A and B are shown apart, each in its own frame.
Chain A
Amino acid sequence: MIHGEKIPDSEMRKDLVELNGIWKSFNGVAVLRGVNLDLKSGEIHALLGGNGSGKSTLMKILSGIYRKNAGTIRISGEECNFLNPSQAHESGIYLVPQEPKIFPNLSIEENIIIGTSYTLGSKTEEIKKMGQQLGFSESLSRPAGILSIAGQQLLEILRGLLRNVKILILDEPTSTLTFREVESLFKQLRNLKNQGIGVFFISHRINEILEIADRVSVLRDGNFVLDKPVAQLNETTLINAMLPDDRISKKIEETSQKKIAEGLAPLLKIRNLTGEAFNGISFSVMPGEIVGLAGVVGAGRTELAEGIVGIDKNVTGEVIIGNESFSQRSPGRSRKKGIVYVPEDRAAHGIFLDLQNLYTTSSSILSEMGKLFISNKKERQLGEYFIKKLGIKTNGPKQISRTLSGGNQQKIVISRAMACNPKVIILDEPTRGVDAEAREDVYDIIKSLIDLDVGILLISSDLEEVIRLSDRILVMYRGEIIEELSKDESTIERVTSGAFGVAG
């Protein structure tokens, strides 16, 4: 374990949490191998690690959802061996899950006080006051279902605050937030920190960790491989710490740019496409070109993609494939014309989690799996082909997809799109919730696709990703493309300012 240099005032701060030698295994497989971790009051401690590295498991042990196999837990110096989440709450630990758990039909206030002995109305003023400090302006009597994900997260934090939280655990709080919401969340976190609350902050976004955290620990294969104050760290050191040792040597480099031949006709042309969430969109995608679509969440990017492939039918304007105008669009007809969409929300729209892997892979081309009946052999070959080609870590095409990691599930979704043999693939957040190694694999897949002259429309909220991969970036702001940047013009600053409506 590497210890950072002494931070003077941290010596005086008391330890809120001390975890020593925590072991946890599932079905005989060790997920945590004697982990040590601590949290001081008024500290934001970021936990970083690939999917399956054990960070969520560790936090679930701390909040009483799982039981450890061995090791000691000290809360404010006292040894505690939690039995259940309510005892964790009593000790001031509150976990805000990645997907906030709310009761959509109950009012916001009811949602906040639920599970406490407070009566409705007895804490209204207090909640209002705390809400104002957090920048939460919604009326407490409205149903919680109207809140955005960001609002629901604030609601979860308010739940914690009302329970006098001392240790707040945030599991990927920013993955569904817009830039502005992230900023406001960070402001609130700094507020909470100044009140002496300790925060465990789990995230995949390195730049956010560098911005908000005081200390960063990197978990890999059930052990911490790094624990340092943020001042001693940068993006490269963090990424390298997360990657397996044999990957460190592999330098993260720019995608080799494929020369787009002159005089080729675009594969896909969009003319003046207008829908509920976007307005007058025009652009084209060339063979072998990656067009990045940047913008904040809510800018209308996903809605645009869904309008192009015909999931949303209330769209005017023209989609032209080759030279033909393509109207009466539906996902099935788009597939036949050579456009497939890899949706943003993998679990809800992309994959059949409770079925075998190959059922997702073959789902768009069932009619090609045999004349009258689906050929088992043909389908299995298809499944095996993509497992091999995309390096999917699975027992085989018949494994139930739910048991795969996020990165491998994403590859299954991509295999479905590739099985359609498309001319254009629209990738919507293809690396969200995907660990660092699988992320590199996804980038390799994208490269192999452009080598085959497939055109790619890449929607991503990860700026580094869009900039690194795209030949051209369209920046969307409130439903309109306000800027088009060439490869050379694409910098984080320009894309960000465009995404916030400040065109350069």
Chain B
Amino acid sequence: MKIKGEIFKRWEFIIFLLLLLEILVFGFFNSSFLNIKNILYSTTDFAHISLVALPLTLVIITGGIDISIASIMGLTSIVIGSTWSLGAPIQVAVSLGLLSGIAAGTFNGFLVAYTDIQPLVITLGTMFLYSGIATGIAGSLGASGYNGIGDFPEGFLSFAYGSIGFIPSSMIYIILFALFLGFILHRHWLGRSIYLIGVNVNTALYNGIKVKLVIVLTYTLTGLGSAIAGILLTSYFTSARSDLGSEALLPALTAVVLGGTNILGGSGTIIGTFIAAIFLGILKQGLMALGVTNNVSQVVIGLVLIVAVAAKLFFTKLKMNSGNSKIQTE
């Protein structure tokens, strides 16, 4: 009974209610929105954002930030495209793409953990670094920025377009990745260390937590998520381009914050980011379906973010007050 009550008091539950409400509202205007299949497919356009927002949650809980995620997607894409066009088998090309994303993330992590420079500044620098490398490789292969590198085999293209039953494969990747990260964050010592660092990095250090290792790993995981997103986008657009996913940063940050993660670190959950990302994906699709222009939908998303965060602050205060009185009376 007690656990049940706890769930209803959680921010994730409120976001989930908002998601249901959102579907009902859009369904009111367009009944096809009430079809589960449509709902699931409407999230594919947003899949790459979910894939980076999930590990980015870990980085932000430690008190860090990574704004190079979009560049890592582009870099991954170009590494796949260039190795493929140079004659490597697609499996090798994809593996190299994945590795380049992981390496880029790990490099971010090392710089953050071993220097005193703020993560924002470091990843701002590597954002330019990675996109510079990607454009450089693309240019040296003579691929135009607009068309990119194409002619991928059928099998690779099914990566983004496949499905199991009525569940699109991109949704399956997101769910698997979310489960993996959820276990890491909420059940593994690494995840606990992430919270401890976010709440008080000095206490974590004094208590023997491997602070530097943990920080590096959070950025490595974000690199991994960006790389998977980059692979997905390359498959989705059937061409490798250095600017793939370049618009992903702000929606990904929005999903993390909307999901209840404190932008200053210390709190947040994977399920929160997961639900918030779906919420944003459907919001964008729904507005589009209603004929709202892209500019206006940006305004709506911005407003939703601010209202939601303000509501969350109000909500936590309320919860804290009731919590305090409980402590006093017991």
Which residues in A have some Cβ–Cβ distance to B below 8 Å? 26-29, 311, 330-335, 341, 343, 348-355, 359-360, 363-364, 366-367, 369, 372-374, 395, 399-400, 403, 416
Q: In the complex, A335→B204 CA distance in Å?
A: 13
Q: What residues of chain B have their CB less than 8 Å away from a CB belonging to chain A?
A: 183, 187-189, 192-193, 195-196, 199-200, 202-210, 266-267, 323-330
Q: Is the interface of B mostly helix, strand, loop or mixed?
A: helix
Known contacts A359-B195, A359-B196: does B208 contact A364 (CB below 8 Å)? yes
CB distance from B59 to the nearest CB of A (A): 19
A27 to B196, CA, bound (A): 30
| A332, B330: Cα distance in complex, Å | 37
**Contacts A330-B208, A335-B208, A373-B188 given; does A355 touch B195 at CB 8 Å:** yes
- A403 close to B208 (CB less than 8 A): no
Can you name the residue of chain A whose Cβ is closest to the Cβ of B190? A366
| Number of inter-chain CB pairs below 8 Å | 86
Q: Could you show 9 A-B contacts with beta carbons less than 8 Å apart?
A: A26-B328, A330-B208, A331-B207, A332-B209, A343-B206, A360-B203, A373-B187, A374-B189, A403-B327
Nearest chain-A residue to B322 (Cβ)? A27
Are B210 and A395 in contact, CB atoms less than 8 angstroms apart? Answer: no
Contact A366 B203 (CB under 8 A): no
A351 to B324, CA, bound (A): 20
Residues of B within 8 A of A372 (CB): 188
Residue of A nearest to B191 (CB): A374
Residues of A within 8 A of B183 (CB): 373
B202 to chain A: closest residue by CB: A349
B270 CB to nearest A CB, Å: 14
Q: Which residue of B lies closest to A336 (CB)?
A: B208
Give the CA-CA distance A332 to B193 in the complex, in Å: 13
Per the bound structure, the CA–CA distance linking A354 and B267 in Å amounts to 10
Contact with B206, one of A350, A354, A367, A395 (Cβ below 8 angstroms): A350
> Which residues of B lie under 8 Å from residue A400 when comparing CB positions?
323
Decide: B192 and A354 in contact? CB cutoff 8 A. no
A364/B207 contact (C-beta < 8 A), A28-B328, A369-B189, A374-B189 known: yes
Q: Give every chain A residue within 8 A of B267 (Cβ-Cβ).
A: 354
Inter-subunit contact A395/B327 (CB<8 Å) = yes
Complex Cα distance, B323 from A146, in Å, reads 40
Q: In whole angstroms, what is the CA distance A403 to B330 when docked?
A: 13
A347 to B187, CA, bound (A): 26
CB contacts (< 8 Å) of B206 on chain A: these are: 311, 331, 341, 343, 349-350
A331-B208 in contact given A28-B325, A352-B196 (Cβ < 8 Å): yes
User: Contacting B189 at CB < 8 Å: which of A26, A28, A367, A416?
Assistant: A367
Question: How close is B127's CB to chain A, nearest CB, in angstroms?
Answer: 30
State whether B188 touches A374 (Cβ < 8 A): yes
